[in-house]
Amino acid sequence: MAQIGYSKKVLEHFMNPRNVGTIENPDGYGKVGNPVCGDLMEMFISVKDDIITDIKFRTFGCGSAIATSSMVTELTKGMHIDEAMEITRDAVADELEGLPPRKMHCSNLAASALHEAIKDYKRKEED
Amino acid sequence: MPTPSLTFRGEPMRMIYLDHAAAMPINPGVLEFAKRYLQSDFGNPSSLYSAGLEAKRIIEDARKKIAELINAENETCIVFTSGATESNNLAIKGTALRNIGKGKKVVASAIEHISVLNPMKELQKSGFELTIIPVDSTGIVDIEELDDSLTKDTTVTSIMYANNEIGTIEPIKEISEIVHEKGLYLHVDATAAAGRLPVDVQNDGIDLLTLSSNDMYGPQGAGALYIKPGVRLQSILPGGGQERGLRSGTENVFAIAGMGEAARIAKDEMAQESKRLRGIRDGLISEILKVEESYLTGHPTQRLPHHASFRFSRIEGESILLNMDMKYNVQVSTGSACTSRMLEPSHVLIAIGLKHEEAHGSMVLTLGRSNEVEEIPIITKAIKETVQRLRELTPL
Ligand code: FES
Protein backbone atom coordinates (compact mmCIF):
# COMPACT_ATOMS: atom_id res chain seq x y z
CA MET A 1 0.00 0.00 0.00
CA ALA A 2 0.89 3.59 -0.53
CA GLN A 3 4.26 3.13 -2.14
CA ILE A 4 4.77 6.87 -2.07
CA GLY A 5 5.58 6.99 1.61
CA TYR A 6 2.79 9.23 2.86
CA SER A 7 1.74 9.43 6.50
CA LYS A 8 -1.60 8.01 7.60
CA LYS A 9 -2.91 11.55 8.03
CA VAL A 10 -2.03 12.52 4.45
CA LEU A 11 -3.75 9.41 3.11
CA GLU A 12 -6.78 10.07 5.27
CA HIS A 13 -7.12 13.63 3.97
CA PHE A 14 -6.52 12.44 0.43
CA MET A 15 -9.28 9.84 0.70
CA ASN A 16 -11.71 12.13 2.58
CA PRO A 17 -10.81 15.69 1.70
CA ARG A 18 -12.61 18.41 3.71
CA ASN A 19 -14.23 21.47 2.15
CA VAL A 20 -14.10 20.49 -1.50
CA GLY A 21 -15.92 22.72 -3.96
CA THR A 22 -16.53 26.37 -4.71
CA ILE A 23 -18.25 29.33 -3.04
CA GLU A 24 -20.48 31.50 -5.16
CA ASN A 25 -19.51 35.16 -4.88
CA PRO A 26 -16.64 34.49 -2.49
CA ASP A 27 -15.17 37.35 -0.46
CA GLY A 28 -11.75 36.19 -1.53
CA TYR A 29 -10.42 33.96 -4.29
CA GLY A 30 -6.89 32.66 -4.84
CA LYS A 31 -5.50 30.54 -7.61
CA VAL A 32 -1.92 29.33 -7.86
CA GLY A 33 -0.06 27.12 -10.25
CA ASN A 34 2.76 24.88 -9.22
CA PRO A 35 5.95 26.01 -10.92
CA VAL A 36 7.71 22.76 -10.05
CA CYS A 37 5.46 20.12 -11.52
CA GLY A 38 2.69 22.12 -13.19
CA ASP A 39 -0.34 21.62 -10.96
CA LEU A 40 -3.17 23.95 -10.04
CA MET A 41 -5.03 24.85 -6.88
CA GLU A 42 -7.81 27.32 -6.08
CA MET A 43 -9.31 28.52 -2.80
CA PHE A 44 -12.55 30.37 -2.06
CA ILE A 45 -13.20 32.14 1.25
CA SER A 46 -16.14 33.82 2.95
CA VAL A 47 -15.08 36.37 5.56
CA LYS A 48 -17.03 38.08 8.31
CA ASP A 49 -15.40 40.54 10.74
CA ASP A 50 -12.02 39.37 9.42
CA ILE A 51 -12.84 35.78 10.40
CA ILE A 52 -12.84 33.06 7.74
CA THR A 53 -16.36 31.70 8.07
CA ASP A 54 -16.25 29.37 5.10
CA ILE A 55 -13.53 28.01 2.86
CA LYS A 56 -13.55 25.69 -0.16
CA PHE A 57 -10.89 24.38 -2.53
CA ARG A 58 -10.34 22.58 -5.81
CA THR A 59 -7.04 20.96 -6.74
CA PHE A 60 -5.49 19.41 -9.83
CA GLY A 61 -2.46 17.58 -8.53
CA CYS A 62 -0.95 14.72 -6.60
CA GLY A 63 -2.13 13.06 -3.42
CA SER A 64 -0.08 15.41 -1.33
CA ALA A 65 -1.48 18.48 -3.12
CA ILE A 66 -5.01 17.31 -2.40
CA ALA A 67 -4.25 16.44 1.23
CA THR A 68 -2.47 19.74 1.93
CA SER A 69 -5.29 21.81 0.45
CA SER A 70 -7.76 19.88 2.55
CA MET A 71 -5.64 20.43 5.66
CA VAL A 72 -5.28 24.16 4.99
CA THR A 73 -9.04 24.56 4.80
CA GLU A 74 -9.53 22.58 7.99
CA LEU A 75 -6.87 24.56 9.85
CA THR A 76 -8.09 27.99 8.85
CA LYS A 77 -11.85 27.70 8.93
CA GLY A 78 -12.93 30.00 11.77
CA MET A 79 -9.52 31.64 11.94
CA HIS A 80 -8.75 35.37 11.88
CA ILE A 81 -7.32 36.36 8.50
CA ASP A 82 -4.17 37.83 10.05
CA GLU A 83 -3.48 34.51 11.74
CA ALA A 84 -4.30 32.61 8.55
CA MET A 85 -1.75 34.74 6.68
CA GLU A 86 0.90 33.37 9.04
CA ILE A 87 0.22 29.73 8.09
CA THR A 88 3.38 28.32 6.52
CA ARG A 89 4.02 25.24 4.43
CA ASP A 90 5.88 23.72 7.35
CA ALA A 91 2.89 24.20 9.63
CA VAL A 92 0.65 22.44 7.13
CA ALA A 93 3.13 19.61 6.68
CA ASP A 94 3.50 19.23 10.46
CA GLU A 95 -0.25 18.94 10.89
CA LEU A 96 -0.18 16.15 8.32
CA GLU A 97 2.49 14.27 10.30
CA GLY A 98 5.10 15.21 7.72
CA LEU A 99 5.51 15.00 3.98
CA PRO A 100 8.19 13.29 1.89
CA PRO A 101 10.88 15.94 1.16
CA ARG A 102 10.20 16.13 -2.56
CA LYS A 103 6.52 16.77 -1.81
CA MET A 104 7.08 19.85 0.36
CA HIS A 105 6.40 22.16 -2.59
CA CYS A 106 2.80 20.88 -2.76
CA SER A 107 2.34 22.10 0.79
CA ASN A 108 3.70 25.45 -0.27
CA LEU A 109 1.09 25.58 -2.98
CA ALA A 110 -1.78 25.12 -0.54
CA ALA A 111 -0.53 27.86 1.77
CA SER A 112 -0.01 30.25 -1.16
CA ALA A 113 -3.49 29.65 -2.54
CA LEU A 114 -4.96 30.60 0.83
CA HIS A 115 -2.74 33.70 1.10
CA GLU A 116 -3.78 34.77 -2.38
CA ALA A 117 -7.44 34.43 -1.39
CA ILE A 118 -6.90 36.58 1.71
CA LYS A 119 -5.02 39.22 -0.28
CA ASP A 120 -7.88 39.25 -2.77
CA TYR A 121 -10.32 39.80 0.11
CA LYS A 122 -8.22 42.69 1.46
CA ARG A 123 -7.98 44.29 -1.96
CA LYS A 124 -11.75 44.17 -2.32
CA GLU A 125 -12.19 45.66 1.17
CA GLU A 126 -9.99 48.63 0.27
CA ASP A 127 -11.99 49.42 -2.86
CA MET B 1 -6.02 4.39 8.03
CA PRO B 2 -7.02 0.72 8.05
CA THR B 3 -6.97 -1.21 4.80
CA PRO B 4 -10.44 -0.93 3.32
CA SER B 5 -12.11 -4.32 3.44
CA LEU B 6 -13.55 -4.85 0.00
CA THR B 7 -15.26 -8.01 -1.03
CA PHE B 8 -15.72 -9.78 -4.32
CA ARG B 9 -18.21 -12.67 -4.50
CA GLY B 10 -18.24 -12.79 -0.73
CA GLU B 11 -14.48 -13.25 -0.52
CA PRO B 12 -12.16 -10.53 0.75
CA MET B 13 -10.94 -8.78 -2.35
CA ARG B 14 -7.42 -9.66 -3.29
CA MET B 15 -4.95 -7.29 -4.77
CA ILE B 16 -5.14 -6.87 -8.52
CA TYR B 17 -1.60 -6.26 -9.71
CA LEU B 18 -1.35 -4.33 -12.97
CA ASP B 19 2.21 -3.05 -12.83
CA HIS B 20 4.15 -5.95 -14.32
CA ALA B 21 6.36 -3.47 -16.18
CA ALA B 22 7.82 -2.36 -12.84
CA ALA B 23 8.42 -5.72 -11.20
CA MET B 24 7.18 -9.21 -11.83
CA PRO B 25 6.59 -11.93 -9.27
CA ILE B 26 9.00 -14.80 -9.85
CA ASN B 27 7.31 -17.81 -11.45
CA PRO B 28 6.99 -20.50 -8.73
CA GLY B 29 8.24 -23.12 -11.20
CA VAL B 30 11.33 -21.01 -11.84
CA LEU B 31 11.98 -20.64 -8.14
CA GLU B 32 11.58 -24.38 -7.58
CA PHE B 33 14.04 -25.08 -10.39
CA ALA B 34 16.67 -22.55 -9.34
CA LYS B 35 16.50 -22.49 -5.55
CA ARG B 36 19.12 -25.20 -4.98
CA TYR B 37 21.67 -22.86 -6.58
CA LEU B 38 21.08 -20.38 -3.77
CA GLN B 39 22.98 -22.58 -1.33
CA SER B 40 26.12 -20.83 -0.32
CA ASP B 41 28.20 -24.03 -0.21
CA PHE B 42 27.60 -24.36 -3.91
CA GLY B 43 30.69 -24.15 -6.06
CA ASN B 44 32.14 -21.20 -7.87
CA PRO B 45 31.64 -21.83 -11.61
CA SER B 46 35.33 -21.10 -12.15
CA SER B 47 36.43 -23.89 -9.77
CA LEU B 48 37.39 -27.25 -11.14
CA TYR B 49 35.98 -29.56 -8.49
CA SER B 50 32.60 -31.14 -9.01
CA ALA B 51 30.40 -28.50 -7.34
CA GLY B 52 32.01 -25.86 -9.55
CA LEU B 53 31.44 -27.98 -12.60
CA GLU B 54 27.77 -28.34 -11.73
CA ALA B 55 27.46 -24.55 -11.42
CA LYS B 56 29.17 -24.17 -14.77
CA ARG B 57 26.85 -26.75 -16.31
CA ILE B 58 23.70 -24.95 -15.15
CA ILE B 59 24.99 -21.65 -16.51
CA GLU B 60 25.62 -23.23 -19.90
CA ASP B 61 22.17 -24.81 -19.76
CA ALA B 62 20.65 -21.35 -19.15
CA ARG B 63 22.68 -19.89 -22.00
CA LYS B 64 21.23 -22.49 -24.33
CA LYS B 65 17.65 -21.87 -23.22
CA ILE B 66 18.02 -18.13 -23.74
CA ALA B 67 19.61 -18.60 -27.16
CA GLU B 68 16.60 -20.73 -28.11
CA LEU B 69 14.10 -18.12 -26.93
CA ILE B 70 15.45 -15.51 -29.34
CA ASN B 71 16.69 -17.90 -32.05
CA ALA B 72 20.34 -16.92 -31.60
CA GLU B 73 22.88 -18.61 -33.89
CA ASN B 74 24.30 -20.52 -30.91
CA GLU B 75 24.61 -20.25 -27.16
CA THR B 76 28.02 -18.59 -27.23
CA CYS B 77 26.22 -15.45 -28.47
CA ILE B 78 24.74 -14.97 -24.98
CA VAL B 79 26.63 -13.05 -22.27
CA PHE B 80 25.16 -12.86 -18.78
CA THR B 81 25.02 -9.57 -16.91
CA SER B 82 23.39 -8.26 -13.74
CA GLY B 83 20.31 -7.03 -15.59
CA ALA B 84 18.97 -4.96 -18.46
CA THR B 85 20.73 -1.78 -17.32
CA GLU B 86 24.13 -3.44 -17.49
CA SER B 87 23.30 -5.13 -20.80
CA ASN B 88 22.36 -1.78 -22.32
CA ASN B 89 25.54 -0.16 -20.99
CA LEU B 90 27.72 -2.99 -22.29
CA ALA B 91 26.04 -2.98 -25.69
CA ILE B 92 26.35 0.77 -26.16
CA LYS B 93 29.61 1.73 -24.50
CA GLY B 94 31.33 -1.58 -25.22
CA THR B 95 30.56 -1.39 -28.93
CA ALA B 96 31.06 2.34 -29.42
CA LEU B 97 34.44 2.30 -27.67
CA ARG B 98 35.68 -0.86 -29.37
CA ASN B 99 34.78 0.48 -32.82
CA ILE B 100 35.97 4.03 -32.31
CA GLY B 101 38.26 3.63 -35.32
CA LYS B 102 35.20 3.31 -37.54
CA GLY B 103 33.43 6.41 -36.32
CA LYS B 104 32.21 8.38 -33.35
CA LYS B 105 28.49 8.67 -34.00
CA VAL B 106 25.71 7.03 -32.00
CA VAL B 107 21.95 7.15 -32.48
CA ALA B 108 18.96 6.37 -30.24
CA SER B 109 15.22 6.95 -30.34
CA ALA B 110 13.64 9.53 -28.06
CA ILE B 111 11.67 6.87 -26.15
CA GLU B 112 14.55 4.59 -25.16
CA HIS B 113 14.91 3.55 -21.56
CA ILE B 114 17.06 5.80 -19.42
CA SER B 115 19.68 3.01 -19.23
CA VAL B 116 20.14 3.45 -23.00
CA LEU B 117 19.92 7.25 -23.08
CA ASN B 118 22.32 7.84 -20.21
CA PRO B 119 25.26 5.80 -21.56
CA MET B 120 24.67 7.52 -24.91
CA LYS B 121 24.86 10.91 -23.20
CA GLU B 122 28.02 9.84 -21.45
CA LEU B 123 29.57 8.98 -24.80
CA GLN B 124 28.46 12.38 -26.07
CA LYS B 125 30.32 14.07 -23.22
CA SER B 126 33.47 12.21 -24.19
CA GLY B 127 33.33 13.46 -27.77
CA PHE B 128 30.84 11.24 -29.58
CA GLU B 129 28.09 12.78 -31.67
CA LEU B 130 24.65 11.72 -30.44
CA THR B 131 21.48 11.96 -32.54
CA ILE B 132 18.08 11.38 -30.97
CA ILE B 133 15.42 10.19 -33.42
CA PRO B 134 11.89 11.48 -32.77
CA VAL B 135 8.78 9.29 -32.74
CA ASP B 136 5.27 10.00 -34.03
CA SER B 137 2.23 10.46 -31.79
CA THR B 138 1.79 6.67 -31.54
CA GLY B 139 5.42 6.14 -30.56
CA ILE B 140 6.73 4.73 -33.86
CA VAL B 141 10.28 5.83 -34.71
CA ASP B 142 10.49 8.36 -37.53
CA ILE B 143 12.02 6.17 -40.23
CA GLU B 144 12.91 9.06 -42.54
CA GLU B 145 14.73 10.89 -39.79
CA LEU B 146 16.58 7.72 -38.96
CA ASP B 147 17.51 7.24 -42.58
CA ASP B 148 18.78 10.82 -42.81
CA SER B 149 20.74 10.64 -39.58
CA LEU B 150 22.74 7.48 -40.23
CA THR B 151 26.16 7.66 -41.81
CA LYS B 152 29.02 5.21 -42.16
CA ASP B 153 30.48 6.75 -38.98
CA THR B 154 27.45 5.63 -36.96
CA THR B 155 28.68 2.64 -35.01
CA VAL B 156 25.75 2.05 -32.63
CA THR B 157 22.06 2.65 -33.27
CA SER B 158 19.80 1.72 -30.37
CA ILE B 159 16.07 1.26 -30.91
CA MET B 160 13.89 -0.67 -28.49
CA TYR B 161 11.77 -3.63 -29.56
CA ALA B 162 8.77 -2.29 -27.68
CA ASN B 163 8.21 0.47 -25.16
CA ASN B 164 7.09 -0.35 -21.63
CA GLU B 165 5.27 2.95 -20.99
CA ILE B 166 3.11 3.15 -24.11
CA GLY B 167 3.31 -0.44 -25.38
CA THR B 168 4.28 0.51 -28.93
CA ILE B 169 6.16 -2.13 -30.96
CA GLU B 170 8.80 -0.71 -33.31
CA PRO B 171 9.24 -1.98 -36.90
CA ILE B 172 12.60 -3.54 -36.04
CA LYS B 173 13.07 -5.43 -39.29
CA GLU B 174 12.64 -2.29 -41.37
CA ILE B 175 14.90 -0.36 -39.01
CA SER B 176 17.52 -3.10 -39.22
CA GLU B 177 17.65 -2.82 -43.00
CA ILE B 178 18.27 0.92 -42.84
CA VAL B 179 20.89 0.61 -40.12
CA HIS B 180 22.79 -2.07 -41.99
CA GLU B 181 22.63 -0.21 -45.26
CA LYS B 182 24.07 2.98 -43.77
CA GLY B 183 25.62 2.44 -40.36
CA LEU B 184 27.25 -0.39 -38.47
CA TYR B 185 25.41 -2.12 -35.59
CA LEU B 186 21.82 -2.22 -34.36
CA HIS B 187 21.26 -2.64 -30.63
CA VAL B 188 17.73 -3.53 -29.55
CA ASP B 189 16.47 -3.34 -25.97
CA ALA B 190 13.96 -6.20 -25.76
CA THR B 191 13.33 -5.92 -22.02
CA ALA B 192 9.60 -5.37 -22.46
CA ALA B 193 9.17 -7.57 -25.53
CA ALA B 194 11.04 -10.80 -24.76
CA GLY B 195 8.74 -13.58 -23.66
CA ARG B 196 5.75 -11.72 -25.06
CA LEU B 197 6.57 -11.34 -28.72
CA PRO B 198 8.39 -13.89 -30.85
CA VAL B 199 11.72 -12.07 -30.91
CA ASP B 200 13.99 -13.64 -33.55
CA VAL B 201 17.40 -12.01 -33.74
CA GLN B 202 18.32 -13.63 -37.05
CA ASN B 203 15.07 -12.92 -38.82
CA ASP B 204 14.79 -9.41 -37.32
CA GLY B 205 18.39 -8.59 -38.22
CA ILE B 206 19.60 -7.66 -34.73
CA ASP B 207 23.29 -7.34 -33.76
CA LEU B 208 22.93 -6.78 -30.02
CA LEU B 209 19.87 -7.55 -27.90
CA THR B 210 19.18 -6.76 -24.25
CA LEU B 211 17.19 -9.20 -22.11
CA SER B 212 16.08 -8.98 -18.50
CA SER B 213 15.40 -11.97 -16.25
CA ASN B 214 12.75 -10.38 -14.06
CA ASP B 215 10.75 -9.15 -17.04
CA MET B 216 10.25 -12.81 -17.98
CA TYR B 217 9.23 -13.92 -14.43
CA GLY B 218 12.80 -14.87 -13.61
CA PRO B 219 14.67 -13.76 -10.47
CA GLN B 220 16.00 -10.22 -10.23
CA GLY B 221 19.76 -9.85 -10.56
CA ALA B 222 20.33 -11.39 -13.99
CA GLY B 223 20.17 -10.11 -17.52
CA ALA B 224 21.73 -11.07 -20.80
CA LEU B 225 23.17 -9.50 -23.89
CA TYR B 226 22.96 -11.29 -27.21
CA ILE B 227 25.97 -10.52 -29.40
CA LYS B 228 25.80 -11.60 -33.01
CA PRO B 229 28.86 -13.60 -34.14
CA GLY B 230 31.44 -11.20 -35.54
CA VAL B 231 30.23 -8.12 -33.66
CA ARG B 232 33.15 -6.66 -31.75
CA LEU B 233 32.87 -4.98 -28.42
CA GLN B 234 35.02 -4.42 -25.39
CA SER B 235 34.41 -5.08 -21.73
CA ILE B 236 33.22 -2.24 -19.56
CA LEU B 237 33.79 -4.30 -16.41
CA PRO B 238 37.32 -5.70 -16.49
CA GLY B 239 38.47 -8.23 -13.91
CA GLY B 240 38.73 -12.00 -13.74
CA GLY B 241 37.66 -12.48 -17.34
CA GLN B 242 34.39 -14.39 -16.93
CA GLU B 243 31.86 -14.41 -19.79
CA ARG B 244 34.49 -14.47 -22.54
CA GLY B 245 36.21 -11.56 -20.86
CA LEU B 246 33.23 -9.31 -21.56
CA ARG B 247 31.76 -9.32 -18.09
CA SER B 248 34.04 -10.11 -15.18
CA GLY B 249 32.73 -11.10 -11.79
CA THR B 250 31.60 -14.39 -10.26
CA GLU B 251 28.35 -15.40 -11.91
CA ASN B 252 25.07 -15.09 -10.03
CA VAL B 253 24.32 -18.79 -10.48
CA PHE B 254 20.86 -18.74 -8.91
CA ALA B 255 19.59 -15.80 -10.95
CA ILE B 256 21.13 -17.11 -14.18
CA ALA B 257 19.69 -20.61 -13.67
CA GLY B 258 16.30 -19.02 -12.99
CA MET B 259 16.55 -16.76 -16.01
CA GLY B 260 17.25 -19.76 -18.22
CA GLU B 261 14.26 -21.64 -16.90
CA ALA B 262 12.10 -18.52 -17.23
CA ALA B 263 13.18 -18.27 -20.88
CA ARG B 264 12.29 -21.91 -21.49
CA ILE B 265 8.83 -21.45 -19.98
CA ALA B 266 8.33 -18.20 -21.87
CA LYS B 267 9.14 -19.93 -25.15
CA ASP B 268 6.71 -22.76 -24.40
CA GLU B 269 3.84 -20.62 -23.17
CA MET B 270 4.23 -17.36 -25.07
CA ALA B 271 1.78 -17.96 -27.90
CA GLN B 272 -1.00 -19.06 -25.58
CA GLU B 273 -0.34 -16.62 -22.76
CA SER B 274 0.00 -13.63 -25.08
CA LYS B 275 -3.30 -14.50 -26.68
CA ARG B 276 -4.97 -14.79 -23.27
CA LEU B 277 -3.58 -11.45 -22.07
CA ARG B 278 -4.43 -9.75 -25.34
CA GLY B 279 -8.06 -10.77 -24.77
CA ILE B 280 -8.13 -9.23 -21.28
CA ARG B 281 -6.23 -6.19 -22.52
CA ASP B 282 -8.67 -5.55 -25.38
CA GLY B 283 -11.59 -5.87 -22.98
CA LEU B 284 -10.02 -3.31 -20.65
CA ILE B 285 -9.23 -0.86 -23.44
CA SER B 286 -12.73 -0.88 -24.86
CA GLU B 287 -14.31 -0.43 -21.42
CA ILE B 288 -11.92 2.23 -20.18
CA LEU B 289 -12.20 4.32 -23.34
CA LYS B 290 -15.88 4.75 -22.49
CA VAL B 291 -14.77 7.12 -19.73
CA GLU B 292 -15.25 10.70 -20.91
CA GLU B 293 -12.11 12.47 -22.07
CA SER B 294 -10.00 9.33 -21.90
CA TYR B 295 -7.45 8.52 -24.57
CA LEU B 296 -5.24 5.58 -25.42
CA THR B 297 -1.53 6.42 -25.41
CA GLY B 298 0.79 4.57 -27.77
CA HIS B 299 -0.14 2.58 -30.84
CA PRO B 300 -3.69 1.24 -31.27
CA THR B 301 -2.60 -2.05 -32.88
CA GLN B 302 1.21 -2.31 -32.89
CA ARG B 303 1.15 -2.85 -29.15
CA LEU B 304 2.51 -5.31 -26.59
CA PRO B 305 -0.18 -7.91 -25.85
CA HIS B 306 -0.21 -7.30 -22.10
CA HIS B 307 -0.11 -3.52 -22.28
CA ALA B 308 -2.83 -0.86 -21.98
CA SER B 309 -2.00 2.80 -21.39
CA PHE B 310 -4.21 5.84 -21.17
CA ARG B 311 -4.47 9.43 -20.22
CA PHE B 312 -7.40 11.21 -18.62
CA SER B 313 -7.89 14.93 -19.01
CA ARG B 314 -7.97 17.26 -16.01
CA ILE B 315 -6.71 14.81 -13.38
CA GLU B 316 -3.30 13.73 -12.17
CA GLY B 317 -1.73 10.27 -12.26
CA GLU B 318 -0.31 9.93 -8.77
CA SER B 319 -3.73 10.60 -7.29
CA ILE B 320 -5.21 8.04 -9.73
CA LEU B 321 -2.65 5.50 -8.56
CA LEU B 322 -3.22 6.30 -4.89
CA ASN B 323 -7.00 6.14 -5.12
CA MET B 324 -6.92 2.85 -7.06
CA ASP B 325 -4.60 1.39 -4.45
CA MET B 326 -6.28 2.66 -1.28
CA LYS B 327 -9.87 2.18 -2.29
CA TYR B 328 -9.85 -0.78 -4.68
CA ASN B 329 -6.58 -2.61 -4.00
CA VAL B 330 -5.65 -2.28 -7.67
CA GLN B 331 -2.01 -1.47 -8.45
CA VAL B 332 -1.34 0.67 -11.51
CA SER B 333 1.42 2.96 -12.71
CA THR B 334 1.70 6.49 -14.11
CA GLY B 335 4.14 8.69 -16.01
CA SER B 336 3.03 11.83 -14.14
CA ALA B 337 5.65 14.38 -13.10
CA CYS B 338 4.39 14.17 -9.52
CA THR B 339 5.69 10.59 -9.14
CA SER B 340 9.09 11.09 -10.71
CA ARG B 341 12.17 11.79 -8.69
CA MET B 342 12.94 14.93 -10.66
CA LEU B 343 9.25 16.01 -10.76
CA GLU B 344 9.37 15.92 -14.53
CA PRO B 345 6.89 14.09 -16.75
CA SER B 346 7.96 10.88 -18.47
CA HIS B 347 10.24 11.60 -21.43
CA VAL B 348 8.27 9.02 -23.42
CA LEU B 349 4.99 10.91 -23.02
CA ILE B 350 6.66 14.18 -24.00
CA ALA B 351 8.24 12.46 -27.03
CA ILE B 352 4.81 11.39 -28.35
CA GLY B 353 3.79 15.05 -28.20
CA LEU B 354 1.77 15.29 -25.00
CA LYS B 355 1.68 18.61 -23.17
CA HIS B 356 2.85 18.54 -19.56
CA GLU B 357 -0.69 18.69 -18.18
CA GLU B 358 -1.75 15.87 -20.51
CA ALA B 359 1.17 13.69 -19.42
CA HIS B 360 0.00 14.37 -15.86
CA GLY B 361 -3.12 12.26 -16.31
CA SER B 362 -1.38 9.13 -17.56
CA MET B 363 -2.14 5.64 -16.31
CA VAL B 364 -0.36 2.45 -17.38
CA LEU B 365 -1.69 -1.09 -16.94
CA THR B 366 0.64 -4.03 -17.59
CA LEU B 367 -0.92 -7.45 -17.23
CA GLY B 368 0.65 -10.74 -16.21
CA ARG B 369 0.04 -14.35 -15.27
CA SER B 370 -2.06 -13.55 -12.21
CA ASN B 371 -4.64 -11.50 -14.11
CA GLU B 372 -7.92 -13.02 -15.17
CA VAL B 373 -10.71 -12.01 -17.49
CA GLU B 374 -13.09 -11.81 -14.50
CA GLU B 375 -11.12 -8.84 -13.27
CA ILE B 376 -12.14 -6.61 -16.18
CA PRO B 377 -15.37 -5.31 -14.60
CA ILE B 378 -13.67 -4.76 -11.22
CA ILE B 379 -10.82 -2.82 -12.78
CA THR B 380 -13.07 -0.74 -15.00
CA LYS B 381 -15.39 0.12 -12.14
CA ALA B 382 -12.41 1.17 -10.03
CA ILE B 383 -11.11 3.37 -12.82
CA LYS B 384 -14.45 4.97 -13.61
CA GLU B 385 -15.11 5.83 -9.98
CA THR B 386 -11.57 7.08 -9.45
CA VAL B 387 -11.72 9.37 -12.47
CA GLN B 388 -15.09 10.68 -11.40
CA ARG B 389 -13.98 11.39 -7.84
CA LEU B 390 -10.84 13.20 -8.93
CA ARG B 391 -12.70 15.22 -11.54
CA GLU B 392 -15.00 16.47 -8.78
CA LEU B 393 -11.89 17.88 -7.13
CA THR B 394 -10.33 19.51 -10.15
CA PRO B 395 -10.44 23.24 -10.98
CA LEU B 396 -9.89 22.55 -14.68
S1 FES C 1 1.23 18.38 -7.16
FE2 FES C 1 2.87 17.53 -8.33
S3 FES C 1 4.10 16.69 -6.79
FE4 FES C 1 2.41 17.40 -5.66
Tell me: the pLDDT tens digits for B82-121? Answer: 999 999 999 999 999 999 999 999 999 999 999 999 999 9
- CB contacts, 8 Å: A37 with chain B: 337-338, 343-344
- In this prediction, residue B1 carries a pLDDT of 35
- CB contacts, 8 Å: B327 with chain A: 15
- Separation CA B381–CA B143 (nearest Å): 40
Tell me: the pLDDT tens digits for B67-88? Answer: 999 999 999 999 999 999 999 9
- In this prediction, residue B3 carries a pLDDT of 41
Instruction: Say yes or no: CB of residue A107 within 6 Å of ligand 1.
Output: no
- We report the CATH number of the domain holding residue B366 as 3.90.1150.10
Q: What is residue B337's DSSP assignment?
A: G
Instruction: Say yes or no: CB of residue A34 within 6 Å of ligand 1.
Output: yes
- In this prediction, residue B5 carries a pLDDT of 46
Q: What is residue A35's DSSP assignment?
A: T
Instruction: Say yes or no: CB of residue A64 within 6 Å of ligand 1.
Output: yes
Q: Is the pLDDT of residue A90 over 70?
A: yes
Partner-chain residue, chosen from B326, B344, B357, that has the shortest CB–CB distance to A11: B326
Q: Is the pLDDT of residue B245 over 80?
A: yes
- Work out the burial of residue B214: count CB atoms within 10 Å of its CB; fewer than 13 is exposed, 13-18 middle, 19 or more buried: buried
Residues B33 and B20 in one domain: no
Query: Where a domain ends, among B265, B292, B327?
Result: B265
- Separation CA B109–CA B213 (nearest Å): 24
- In this prediction, residue B90 carries a pLDDT of 97
Q: Is the pLDDT of residue B274 over 70?
A: yes
Pick from B3-12, B24-33, B207-216: least confident: B3-12
- In this prediction, residue B6 carries a pLDDT of 52
Asked whether A20 and A65 are in contact (CB, 8 A), the reply is no
Catalytically active residues of B are 338
- In this prediction, residue B2 carries a pLDDT of 37
- Separation CA B280–CA B50 (nearest Å): 48
Instruction: Say yes or no: CB of residue B338 within 6 Å of ligand 1.
Output: yes
- In this prediction, residue B205 carries a pLDDT of 98
Residues B233 and B102 in one domain: yes
Residues B14 and B115 in one domain: no
What distance, in Å, lies between the first and last C-alpha atoms of chain B? Answer: 29
Instruction: Say yes or no: CB of residue B356 within 6 Å of ligand 1.
Output: no
- Separation CA B55–CA B242 (nearest Å): 13
Cβ contacts of residue A101 below 8 Å, gap of 6+?
A: none
Query: Which has the closest alpha carbon to B169: B302, B351, B26?
Result: B302
Is residue B216, in this structure, part of any structural domain at all? yes
Q: How confident is the model at residue B207 (pLDDT cuts 50, 70, 90)?
A: very high
Is residue B52, in this structure, part of any structural domain at all? yes
Residues B165 and B176 in one domain: yes
Q: Are strands B185-189 and B154-158 parallel, antiparallel or unpaired?
A: parallel
- In this prediction, residue B257 carries a pLDDT of 95
- In this prediction, residue A83 carries a pLDDT of 96
Q: What whole-number percentage of chain B has pLDDT above 90? A: 80
Tell me: the pLDDT tens digits for B326-371? Answer: 999 999 999 998 888 788 899 999 999 999 889 999 999 999 999 9
Plot region of B291 (φ>0 → left; ψ -120 to 50 → alpha; else → beta)? beta
Asked whether A47 and A121 are in contact (CB, 8 A), the reply is yes
Is residue B1, in this structure, part of any structural domain at all? no
| Between A79 and B1, residue with greater pLDDT | A79
- Domain total in chain B: 2
Is residue B344, in this structure, part of any structural domain at all? yes
Among A10, A72, A75, A106, the active-site one is A106
Q: Is the pLDDT of residue A9 over 60?
A: yes
Residues B252 and B333 in one domain: no
Q: What is the dihedral of CA B366, B369, B372, B377, to 10 degrees?
A: -20
Query: Where a domain ends, among B250, B265, B280?
Result: B265
Residues B184 and B98 in one domain: yes
Q: Provide mean pLDDT across the span A58-66.
A: 94
Cβ contacts of residue A81 below 8 Å, gap of 6+?
A: A47, A50, A51, A52, A118, A121, A122
ipTM of the complex: 0.92
Partner-chain residue, chosen from A17, A37, A59, that has the shortest CB–CB distance to B343: A37
- CB contacts, 8 Å: B344 with chain A: 37
Residues B133 and B208 in one domain: yes
Residues B256 and B331 in one domain: no
- Separation CA B364–CA B362 (nearest Å): 7
Residues B239 and B157 in one domain: yes
Is residue B21, in this structure, part of any structural domain at all? yes
Q: Provide mean pLDDT across the span A17-37.
A: 91
Average pLDDT taken over every residue of chain B: 93
- We report the CATH number of the domain holding residue B188 as 3.40.640.10
Residues of B within an 8 Å Cβ radius of A = 1, 3, 314-316, 318-319, 322-323, 325-327, 336-339, 341, 343-344, 356-357, 360, 392-396
Tell me: the pLDDT tens digits for B38-59? Answer: 875 566 777 777 777 888 899 9
Cα A13 to middle of ligand 1, angstroms: 15
Instruction: Say yes or no: CB of residue A68 within 6 Å of ligand 1.
Output: no
Structural domain including B378 reads 6-26+270-393
- Work out the burial of residue B299: count CB atoms within 10 Å of its CB; fewer than 13 is exposed, 13-18 middle, 19 or more buried: buried
Q: Are strands B307-312 and B362-366 parallel, antiparallel or unpaired?
A: antiparallel
Q: Is the pLDDT of residue B9 over 70?
A: no
- In this prediction, residue B10 carries a pLDDT of 56
Residues B113 and B21 in one domain: no
Residues B169 and B55 in one domain: yes
Residues B21 and B33 in one domain: no
Chain A nearest-CA distance from B112, in A, is 23
Chain A nearest-CA distance from B388, in A, is 13
* Residue of the CA atom closest to atom 3 of ligand 1: B338
Partner-chain residue, chosen from B316, B326, B344, that has the shortest CB–CB distance to A62: B316
Q: Provide mean pLDDT across the span A93-122.
A: 91
Query: Where a domain ends, among B244, B265, B286?
Result: B265
**A37 carries an active-site annotation:** yes
Q: Do A14 and B325 touch (CB under 8 A)?
A: no
Asked whether B281 and B307 are in contact (CB, 8 A), the reply is yes
A101 interface with B at CB cutoff 8 Å: no
